[in-house]
Structure 1
Amino acid sequence: MTDRFEFSERRRAMLAAIAAAGVSSSVGASVAQAARKVSVSGGSGGERRMTQLIGANGWPVTPANIAMWKEMGITWGRDSVGPGQRNSPDEPIRVDKTGAAFDHDLAPAILANNQNGIHSLLLLGYTPKWNATVDGDSRSAPKDDTVWQRYVEAVVRTYVAPPYNVRHFQIWNEAAGRLTGGSPQATFWHGQNYNVHREQARPYDRAMQDYVELVHVPAARIVRKYGGYVVYGGWPDQGGIETFMKWLEYRSPVVNARMIDWVDYLDTHYLGVDALTPLYERYVATGAARGIWQTEIGDRYMNDPHYLPMYFFKFATWALAHGWDDPNKYVSMVYHWDGVEPYRLTHRGNPRTYNVSGKSLIVLNKTVGGALSRFDGHLAFGPNASGMALRAGSDLVLQVRASPGPRTVTVSGLTGVQPERLGVAMIDALTGESADASAISARSSPDGLSIAFRVPEAVNGGGRGAPMHLAYLVVSQRA
């Protein structure tokens, strides 16, 4: 799914002119290295919470929208910055607008984010049409790479400074070569042999070399010069993880660098949680990267109302098992937080309303809102049920997916609790409604805590296959 992010036109590019030497610098460079050592969320200590994982594309902007973001637990936003020199090289470089058409003011959006505990990721891209290698194509490599460098410098210099204090900058969006599925060129990175008619296009043979040399490494040097963090430009799901690793480790003789040496946060789009493990093992566990983000998830996958709560619950359990020692280490951003499609988080209107996916985040945020920690015990489900668990504050929370009828799960490995004082509630993962007490019971058994629960016939799942219900079993100790 690569044909969705309409961040409008922008500049890009830069070649090996600034190769082996890092970009020398000016104002802001004196504090740059010190600034990068401290996370904007307060360093590596502190509690881990579900909200630290959740972001969305776009900005909330209005007080009403900000309130909705807080209710859904969204703490990261992502959007464009520009428009740069949209019409000619003689224009001043403008970096005060955001949005697909650069029709919103960026500065107040960032300040509102700062005031409300929302972090801002600024997307750097693309090429002005007058500077495009492919005639009139803002998503193509640049003819003059210094145009890209001036744009990046203007953005980063402006927004790392007070009162904005932005530290995270994403370089481009989904730059890749030939994609699985038959596309000869990536949706957001065009070059030689491109044609708007896909059947007439041929592969852009130097797609990744040009991206590394003209765009990524030069921009990353500027970002780090000012104390910022480099977020990779969102490797598309159709690009393949092995291919991503290949280009991360490609050493360009032109810029005398590998891309991975100039990446702080790896970033992919629309992958399942398990697909992140090879990236963790190869780069994060070894210290080559600070963390792994997905700056686009969801979209039409959210036609399945279970997708989003299952994704973030699994993401949290995965993060807890993979060295989640910094609040910014792992982030996933929903594409998109608003729209007219029924699967978006909210539906545009006056007033704006929640869709099912947005409600599911509210339920997740309320149900799993405590400080998170791993559950190292074991879950044994009966037929037609499955799930996983983590600790949220003093509660043990199981996310369970099951078909209608009586179901069971036995929880072993509960330590430091008195089984006879445990209570269990069942909460609908999409509506937040609690099941009647008669639908759930728990008892101590030789194997642990045995929980019996009845799944309603009117399940909250939909789509293909047998109907399934998604719920949380919350195990808490009575006073």
Structure 2
Amino acid sequence: MDRVKTRADRRRALRKLAALAAGAAAPLSSIRPAVALIPDSAPASARARRITDLIGTNGWAGSAADIQMWRAMGISWGRGEVGPGQPDRPGEMMRIDKTGPAFNSDLQPVLMRNERNGIGSLLLLGYTPGWNATVPGDSKSAPVDVQAWQQYVSAVVRKYSAPPYNLRYFQIWNEAAGKLSGGSPQATFWHGPDFSTDQKRAKPYERAMQDYVERIHIPAARIIRSHHAYVVYGGWPDQGGLENFQRWLEYRSPVLNERMLDWVDYIDTHYLPVADLESLYQLYVRNGPARGIWQTEIGNEYMRDPHYLPRYYFDFAVWALRRNWDDPDKYLSMIYHWDGYEPFRLTHRGPPERTYNVSGRALIVLRRTAGGHLASFSKPLQGSPGVAANALLSGNDLVIQVSSSAGWRSVAIGGLQALRSRTVKADFIDALSGEVSAPDNVALSWESDQMQVRFKVPDQVNGAGNNPPRHLAYLVVRRVTQGAT
């Protein structure tokens, strides 16, 4: 593990340098660093966490220009397929050099580019070749010959866990589940007898859990751990139900006499709100056996709301800071998808050239506004009527994310009495554009032992499509050194 740890430390150092380089670009706001708002509030640098540690995406950066855009948005992880394995017949040459849903892109240059730029790579292991499928021709069903599945997994992990790739994380399958709490008799990516694309004709896959644990997950997990790498669960679907997910994790195979949970390093779900992660943390991460919680797919249609991503990641950071975020890879959420043609994706693919959509610009603003070493803020915080507020410490700044209706609003902050004799200022920053409000639209005062920050929310709110319309912004409060402007 020493070699793996050394390479991981190098990648983390590169990620920090990338964050600094991205911050040197033309800013979307005029925030300037100042002396610490609360003395000794920042964590020791060896344990410091950054907002970029939490941000990943599905797909890969395809060029140096893409890497620069990832850095600007704070993306530090990518996720993609590896194959095609043995797609046509048993005994053919094992192919594990391609990626993409159709396996039409070269994988190895992507992984090397990621390694050079401090970007983590998660490889998705799947699925079953049609010739080996228990449901004839269905790649989303269990293999007839489990050894063929093991040979594919072994080839991938053996190659890509070793130099020059040095990958540490491998995901087993995608969204394997049985009957879903939303009513579907079978999961989208895990099919058994009586499967039909017509849900009215489909019947439940009675052995879904046992077949997945015995034929897919534990055989693959044993191989991954034998190469000193980590097992990422295959992403529990949001319509699967958390109680059902717990049943799957804790299921003990009568054949293997082992629980799947004991062969999972990172619990993984898809498209859940941050609050839904709490029960998984309390059950499986707080005291083990899992190392952390990931969501390898978030966003998608939810990103039609331009507030979705900045609110999700800010809440995720606040949540993680209060739950023993003792490793930068402990918590991660990956956006689906970072590029495309829909206006809610992070970027528009072009032609003529790739450009940011509003969701991508919102990530840039978040990274620049809360881009320092993060720490939890535990002082009392109260928004006036119509204001929802959440806060954390970023470097020397107190960053408060506020969602509110138009007009003059305020936030009261307790526990800052030591600052009454100091010069303190606040900026009100649009969370989507990064525009800083005029100074006379923000005012600081003291009432008893509380700092009052009043701010004017524009009539034209940036969440006009929401019901009711809301404005998302950041209040950044900091001490000001003498002579600073």
TM over 0.5: yes
CA shift for structure 1 position 417: 3.4
Q: What RMSD over aligned residues (CA atoms) do the two structures have, in Å?
A: 1.5
Match of 2:192 in 1: 191
Match of 2:305 in 1: 304
CA shift for structure 1 position 41: 4.2
CA shift for structure 1 position 35: 5.5
CA shift for structure 1 position 197: 2.0
CA shift for structure 1 position 418: 4.5
Superposed counterparts of 1:19-418, under 5 Å: 40-41=8-9, 45-349=46-350, 350-414=352-416, 417-418=419-420
Query: Could you tell me which amino acid in structure 1 is paired with residue 318 of structure 2?
Result: T
- Distance across 1 between alignment mates of 2:78 and 2:337: 10
- Distance across 2 between alignment mates of 1:236 and 1:118: 26
CA shift for structure 1 position 416: 5.1
- Distance across 2 between alignment mates of 1:77 and 1:478: 38
Residues 25-58 of structure 1 show CA distances to partners (whole Å, capped at 9, x for unaligned) of xxxxxxxx55577782479943100000000001
Contact 1:35 1:227 in 2 (8 A): no
Mean Cα deviation higher: 137-146 or 308-317 = 137-146
CA shift for structure 1 position 243: 1.0
CA shift for structure 1 position 193: 1.2
**Which 4+ residue blocks in structure 1 deviate beyond 6 angstroms?**
36-39
Mean Cα deviation higher: 251-260 or 265-274 = 251-260
Contact 2:132 2:145 in 1 (8 A): yes
- Distance across 2 between alignment mates of 1:104 and 1:435: 45
Match of 2:458 in 1: 456
Residues 249-270 of structure 1 show CA distances to partners (whole Å, capped at 9, x for unaligned) of 1111212210110010000000
CA shift for structure 1 position 61: 2.2
What's the TM-score once normalised by structure 1's chain length? Answer: 0.91
Call closer, same or farther: CA 1:68–1:402 in 2, change over 3 Å.
same
Contact 1:379 1:412 in 2 (8 A): yes
Contact 1:80 1:125 in 2 (8 A): yes
2:332 partner SS: strand
- Distance across 2 between alignment mates of 1:327 and 1:341: 31
- Given candidates 428, 431, 437, the residue that maps to 1:429 is 431
Contact 2:388 2:404 in 1 (8 A): yes
Call closer, same or farther: CA 1:283–1:39 in 2, change over 3 Å.
farther
Unaligned runs of 5+ in 1: 1-32
2:462 partner SS: coil
Contact 1:376 1:413 in 2 (8 A): no
Contact 2:196 2:202 in 1 (8 A): yes
Query: Could you tell me which amino acid in structure 1 is paired with residue 416 of structure 2?
Result: L
2:388 partner SS: strand
Contact 1:34 1:227 in 2 (8 A): no
Query: Could you tell me which amino acid in structure 2 is paired with residue 59 of structure 1?
Result: W
1:407 partner SS: strand
- Distance across 1 between alignment mates of 2:295 and 2:7: 19
Query: Could you tell me which amino acid in structure 1 is paired with residue 155 of structure 2?
Result: A
Match of 1:8 in 2: none
- Distance across 1 between alignment mates of 2:338 and 2:162: 28
Unaligned runs of 5+ in 2: 13-44
Call closer, same or farther: CA 1:310–1:223 in 2, change over 3 Å.
same
User: Aligned residue pairs: how many?
Assistant: 447
CA shift for structure 1 position 171: 0.2
CA shift for structure 1 position 287: 1.9
2:419 partner SS: coil
